[in-house]
Amino acid sequence: MTELHHLSIRELSAGLTSKQFSSLELTQHFLTRIDRIDTQINSFISVTHESALASAQQADAARANGTAGLLTGIPIAHKDIFCTQGVRTSCGSKMLDNFIAPYNATVISQCNDAGLVMLGKTNMDEFAMGSSSESSFYGATHNPWQLGRVPGGSSGGSAAAVAADLAPFATATDTGGSIRQPAAFCGLTGLKPTYGRVSRFGMIAYASSLDQGGPIGRSAEDCAYLMQVMAGHDAKDSTSVEQPIDDYVAGLAATNADKPLQGLRIGLPHEYLKDGLDTDVKARVEEALQVLENLGATLVWINLTTTDAAIPAYYLIAPAEASSNLSRYDGVRFGHRCENPKDLMDLYTRSRTEGFGDEVQRRILVGTYALSAGYYDAYYLKAQKVRRLIQNDFVKAFEQCDVIAGPTAPTAAYGIGAKQDPVAMYLGDIYTIAVNLAGLPAISAPVGFDTSYSDQDNAQNQCSPLPVGLQLIGPYWSESKLLNIIHQYQQHTDWHTKRAPLALDAGVKA
């Protein structure tokens, strides 16, 4: 019998419907795995054992009386950026270590309404500021493929939990690549939806014009099931767009069995396949493009001339918005408060100094500087103008192609502590950041492994190959198309089925 944690979302739903296992059994299975394996990974900040088992019992009762939905009783992990009523919502920060959310984020409510069972809240870079999940107050998260490597960030906890089979799928957020890059580093599929497609209500803000929630799963099909739950207009979110929701699962069907991608034009930016891209990553991406061509797609070379401007523009706009959003954490109303302040200024200064980590403080300072009198026009306003040029660049590109393809990240997962220089880490977002600046949807999927390991080491379980991700970028509201393309690719490849050593309970050395 196939292990429960190896089943897809479709198989889990079918098993619950046919009573092969109960939600209580399924939930206990994953909780046991978390207790046994997560000490090595640190993918969870909070594990909600009691409430998970209670929700599972309710799910079983709903299935017994015929009121269950398709996903009722399936476990899920939530990134600890979504407010969850009665549960600590820390955002990976000491500042919110004592914060118990008094209400549910819309995404949490939608998942609860669908009958999903929350296993817990996953680790993340503090306030989603980072690309490696090393800046968390609760310690770094480790990549299940090699424990000495990062899982990516800021949604590294969600990605690592799914990669280690500690949860079937997970919610995540993406401000500059924080769904797609962890998915690539952990051998998963991750979808960053169009800005405004998923409600931001109750999602703790980093950069309000860039943040967007989305799913991380093993396959495009798994992501489609969760996207069906997460998507939709929310009157409580002023950035939510009233746009019809596609049937993402039904949209996976192929109209042409032999050439399911017949007529699809895939744009290849010259700027994405130049110097700075790891040779293994480039090779895997080119191999994946060949598969897509074999399925009927046509490759078209295009130019995205503003690519190099994306990182400097992002690292002015995002910190500026962070500076504004994080000003509410002052030690007065909620969150961390210093002991025995001498006066109000001492309260503000010490509470924020003690509550925020180095990376968060760095971005607050950069953002405050960019917004200050005398520098607003020179930096922030100019960055916003560049943002419009980036958006126009994509619009022009989509006149020549239907989607844009390239690597998700320039390298596979790097070592924990390997990038002490913040700028070096920022440069790793070169292929993902422009998507957020333009508000476009994009997906990352596994397309193979690097070759930075020896067969002998792998046989002795001393290390394992590291996953490589392919990114597809689509026009606004094209989530269904992106999911379909990756689904067709995954029907003809098996990279998404590969398991990390820890997922196979085969212990590895850090």
Q: Give me the active site residues, please.
A: 79, 154, 178
Pairing of strands 298-302, 265-269: parallel
Distance CA 136, CA 174 (A): 16
The answer to whether the CB of 364 falls within 8 A of the CB of 315 is: no
Q: Say how far apart CA 355 and CA 345 lie, in whole Å.
A: 15
Upper half-sphere CA count for residue 376 (Cβ side, 13 Å)? 5
Beta-carbon contacts of 39 under 8 Å, excluding residues fewer than 6 positions away, are: none
Could you tell me if 487 and 505 are in contact, meaning their C-beta atoms sit under 8 angstroms apart?
no
Query: Tokens 């009573």 appear where?
Result: 19
- Crossing angle of helices 220-230/479-491, nearest 10°? 160
d(CA 172, CA 179): 6
In the structure encoding, which two tokens stand for residue 437, read together?
A: 């600046």
Is residue 302 within 8 Å of 272, Cβ to Cβ? no
Rg (CA), the chain: 22
Q: Determine which helix (DSSP H) or strand (DSSP E) holds 345, and give its type and residue range.
A: helix 344-355
Neighbouring CB atoms inside 10 A of 264's CB total 21
SS (H, E, C) 178-246: CCHHHHHHCCCEEEECCCCCECCCCECCCCCCCCEEEEEECCHHHHHHHHHHHECCCCCCCCCCCCCCC
Q: How far apart are CA 176 and CA 318, in angstroms?
A: 9
Q: Say which residues have a Cβ less than 8 Å from residue 334's Cβ, sequence separation at least 6.
A: 99
Residue 381 per-residue DSSP state? I
CB half-sphere exposure, 16, CA atoms < 13 A = 31
Those residues whose C-beta lies under 8 Å from the C-beta of residue 92, and which sit 6 or more positions away, are: 45, 80, 81, 123, 124, 125, 126, 127, 128, 135, 136, 137, 138, 154
Q: Supply the DSSP symbol for 410.
A: S
